[in-house]
Structure 1
Amino acid sequence: MSTISLSTATAISATARPATRLRLTARGRGVLLAVASVPLAVGIAFAAISGGSAIASGADKPVAAVETITVMPGDTLWSIAGSIAPEADPRDVIGDISRMNLLRGGEIQIGQELAIPAQYAE
């Protein structure tokens, strides 16, 4: 059989607390949080101040005039394409009108305003 012997020196050192333990009070935690958040607040303030000048205003951009056509009773995309561009292939004109007006499936309603692509506008 083996025996284990404990001396009082090892038992006392095992139960003693380390002398370098850091204890923070509630006020100390608040101060530490405030000091740690200062760089974050400075970064956000810098981004807010300098980021506003990067927004494009578009004031010097020329305004593009868009010609529109109002859909009348009996109008179809095919008839509209034939009337605005009789020399072009109606399928191409319909595709351009559909893309410009975000039409799904070529459905149009009476009274709807359709924007006409610039190459077909008179």
Structure 2
Amino acid sequence: MSTAVIAPNAVARARQSAPRLRLTTRGRVVLMTLAATPLVIAALMFSLNGGDAAATLESNENAFVYVDVTAGQSLWNIAETHAPGHDPREVVAQLIELNQLPSADVFAGQQLAIPASFSG
């Protein structure tokens, strides 16, 4: 009877060369799907809840007071007249932005919107 002798190094090399985990294409797809699903759900929840806007039946028609500019009047004069308790520089800046004026120059006959909160 003959006995085969296996070298101890051959067994160790066979174990080292064999991969521990073999991932097939299908396995990769399943793994990526499982990893991406929570991210997709979180993105959908964020996009659906991100823009909370409330509609009301209340009208904001009285939110502004409209003023006709007279000859010789400036935004500074209008700011001092209609918002006496506020800093005129800030009021002028808000009037320029609100009325979409290209500069601080106003002309006689021009109509300006002034927030009603200033006239208070």
Match of 2:78 among 68, 77, 80: 80
Per-residue CA deviations over 1:13-57 (Å, capped at 9, x if unaligned) read 4422345611112221011111222233333344455x27x7131
2:114 maps to 116
Gaps of 5+ in 1: 1-7
Task: Pick closer, same or farther for the CA change 1:15–1:59 going to 2, 3 Å.
Answer: same
Task: Pick closer, same or farther for the CA change 1:117–1:31 going to 2, 3 Å.
Answer: closer
8 Å contact 2:79–2:88 — kept in the other structure? yes
8 Å contact 1:100–1:117 — kept in the other structure? no
Gaps of 5+ in 2: 1-6, 98-102
How many percent of aligned residue pairs carry the same amino acid? 32
2:56 maps to 59
RMSD: 4.0
Amino acid at match of 2:34: V
CA shift, 1:71, in A, is 3.7
Q: Distance in 1 between matches of 2:104 and 2:69?
A: 11
TM-score of the aligned structures, taking structure 1 as reference length: 0.53
TM-score of the aligned structures, taking structure 2 as reference length: 0.54
